[in-house]
């Protein structure tokens, strides 16, 4: 499975904020649009008849200073649903890999890598905050997306 360039992947994405900072040689950074707290309790069963997704409660970002253009989410330890600004549309012979950025992990957050196929709108992930608190700014680049060609 050959790895495709960031420019090739960018052509499959909508909602990129600033291409010159987000598009790299073999990846594109994804940016945070919204964050919701995961509310217990989800349910998973064998047949799916009793399946229930975990609830979501939007977390509102706040300005640190009155003159700030962008707001921050201040997230205590826990699980959160993150929706990205970007949406994805892949060809039949393509698969994308979503992975957390190094900066996110060094700040105390993470999410599981995920394989994406077809049209994904919105792109979402489950953010895990493993430190007492993490702050994330609106449009922060917290994840990388890479594109592979399936042969």
In the prediction, which pLDDT does 118 show?
97
One digit per residue, pLDDT tens: the chain, 151 residues?
Answer: 899 999 999 999 999 999 999 999 999 999 999 999 998 889 999 999 999 999 999 999 999 989 989 999 999 999 999 999 999 999 999 999 999 999 999 999 999 999 999 999 999 999 999 999 999 999 999 999 999 999 8
Query: Rounded distance, CA 43 to CA 104, Å?
Result: 29
DSSP H or E run through 147:
strand 141-149
In the prediction, which pLDDT does 1 show?
82
In the prediction, which pLDDT does 40 show?
82
- Which has the closest alpha carbon to 97: 105, 106, 88? 88
Q: Which domains does the chain have, with CATH numbers?
A: 6-40+51-149 (2.70.40.10)
In the prediction, which pLDDT does 30 show?
98
In the prediction, which pLDDT does 35 show?
98
For the chain, helix (H) and strand (E) counts, in that order, are 3, 11
In the prediction, which pLDDT does 41 show?
87
């Amino acid at each position: 499975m050959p790895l495709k360039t960031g420019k090739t992947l960018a052509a499959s994405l909508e909602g990129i904020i600033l291409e010159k900072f987000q598009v790299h040689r073999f990846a594109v950074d994804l940016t945070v649009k919204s964050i919701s707290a995961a509310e217990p309790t989800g349910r998973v069963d064998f047949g799916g008849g009793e399946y229930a997704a975990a609830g979501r409660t939007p977390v509102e970002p706040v300005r640190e200073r009155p003159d700030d253009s962008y707001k921050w989410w201040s997230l205590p330890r826990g699980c959160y649903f993150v929706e990205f600004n970007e949406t994805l549309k892949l060809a039949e012979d393509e698969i994308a890999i979503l992975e957390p950025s190094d900066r996110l992990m060094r700040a105390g957050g993470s999410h599981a890598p995920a394989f994406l196929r077809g049209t994904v709108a919105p792109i979402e992930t489950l953010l895990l905050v493993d430190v007492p608190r993490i702050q994330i700014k609106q449009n922060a680049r917290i994840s990388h997306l890479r594109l592979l060609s399936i042969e």
